[in-house]
Amino acid sequence: MGTEISARSFTGADRRQFRHKVRECMSALERMLRDGAFADAHSSPEPQLGMEIEFNLVQDDMAPAMSNLEVLQAIDDHAVFQTELGQFNVEMNVEPGPLSGDATIEIEDSLRQSLRRADERMHLFDAQLVMIGMLPTLELDHLGRDRITANPRYEALNEQIFAARGEDIELDLDGVPLPGTDEIERLRADTNSVVPEAACTSLQLHLRVAPEDFAPHWNAAQCLAGVQVALAANSPFLAGKALWHESRIPLFAQATDTRPLELKNQGVRPRVWFGERWIESPIDLFEENSRYFTALLPEITDADPAAELDAGLIPQLRELQMHNGTIYRWNRPVYDISDGQAHLRIENRVLPAGPTVLDTMANAAFYYGLLRALVEDDDPLWRRMTFDAAEENLIIGAKFGLESRLYWPKLGWVGADELVLRRLLPLADRGLESFGLSARARDRYLGIIEGRCLNRQTGAAWQREHVARREAAGDDRRTALSGMLRDYVAAMTDGRPVHEWVV
């Protein structure tokens, strides 16, 4: 959720001063880009796989476990596991590793060992980790204000979103009929908190890039968002309703929306934002963020970024970082400092968590490899695809998963599975080979993507089919969801990729 804060309330003067400080940070950032002040200004950084994984916590009866603080105390590994917005969430930060040789297999093994140790320690609290995009046993009663994790940032964020909005948030989602039915289910509810955002648990992939390479990488990532979601959908149920294959996408947008209806009608931009154009420089995104969005957490420092640059120091640009962290682009630009040097990253946020460690690694490898191949292409994809088409692909992919038909240049509208099998898998393999990833690792992860497309079984497809069959056998919806989740956790623990799961 970003940088910690100390204040709980803010004045109008705070907001005006914060706006001024963000502009100072922007001027400093432009100067740094112009003067080559980044660690990667003159050479591309070594590519690394960096990820954050959000988890749900469940009890033995598959109900949400509202015990993240106790769980984290039991795990006792604060460098790896941290709090998230909801009391039923934790986040895991995976140590970055190179995209070369067999290093990704080593990351996979390390990730699996960390999860095993954590799981052993937290069972004392009747809790276990679930890698899933949206916990199917979550009910609206679990998403109230009293379920926010005790943390000043989370509490202040909730207060500021509702202060900006001036009214309760309306959740309004239509579903996709389950297999064997024609019924379109609907979720309609008002909420007085942003905790529904916590229902959206994701896999976030980071890639550090040189400033001059940022724009093509971001543009390529935008092109891929719809394919990523269609291929990895894992969030079909909430509050007893069968919704989209990847319901995180619309729910996250609605749960953090600071706009009442009138501002939507005026065309005010949402804080969960795909964007509206291809970019030429990273400054384009930071400039849009500062120009279009009011501050939610306007906490101010005494730092003078221009003076710091004059003194030969690397500025923290904390106001810019704070503001940037409250604008939820699906591909977010990140300014950060490591080892005393400034750098830029792209944070890819479209993917759900899970279903397994192996699926997670496969999703990551597919993204990194395909991104590299598109950036290296002499005829950039974003020059042949409209920005609106890329955004439409995201919505269609989230709604229908591998059943969707997506737009692709030179192919027109094509099935997501066919697009991946015929066109994108060879590109992803070429990109991973360009990184230096071994043939063994490439075959391991891209083989999983191939199997998923051939079986047309994502996590969402498996969940939907499982619940439909349980209901056909006589279960009511809540019983079907609990039984399905129990089988999901067993299969997740077994570790076989989701396309091999049996319904």
Per-residue pLDDT tens over the stretch 428-462: 999 999 999 999 999 999 999 999 999 999 999 99
For residues 345 and 162, give the distance between their C-alpha atoms in angstroms, rounded to a whole number.
30
Specify the 3-state DSSP secondary structure of 4. coil
Asked if the model's pLDDT at residue 163 lies above 90, the reply is no
202-213: average pLDDT: 95
Pick from 476, 421, 482, 413: nearest CA to 447: 421
Q: What is the pLDDT of residue 477?
A: 97
How does pLDDT run across 35-60, given as a tens digit for each residue? 999 987 777 788 888 999 999 999 99
Whose tokens are 């501002």? That residue is 263
Asked if the model's pLDDT at residue 79 lies above 90, the reply is no
If pLDDT is split at 50, 70 and 90, which confidence band does 1 have? very low
Highest mean pLDDT (candidates 70-74, 151-155, 244-248): 244-248
Burial 416-430 (b: 16+ CB within 10 A, else e): bbbbbeeebbebbbb
How does pLDDT run across 256-289, given as a tens digit for each residue? 999 999 999 999 999 999 999 999 999 999 999 9
1-22: average pLDDT: 77
Cis amide leading into 355 (omega within 30): yes
CA angle, 325 then 330 then 334, to 5°:
40
If pLDDT is split at 50, 70 and 90, which confidence band does 8 have? low
* pLDDT mean across residues, the chain: 94
360-369: average pLDDT: 98
Phi, psi of 34 (to 5 degrees): -70, -35
If pLDDT is split at 50, 70 and 90, which confidence band does 422 have? very high
Q: Which of 6-10, 31-35, 139-143, 264-268 has the lowest mean pLDDT?
A: 6-10
How does pLDDT run across 297-321, given as a tens digit for each residue? 899 999 999 999 999 999 999 999 9
How does pLDDT run across 475-490, given as a tens digit for each residue? 999 999 999 999 999 9
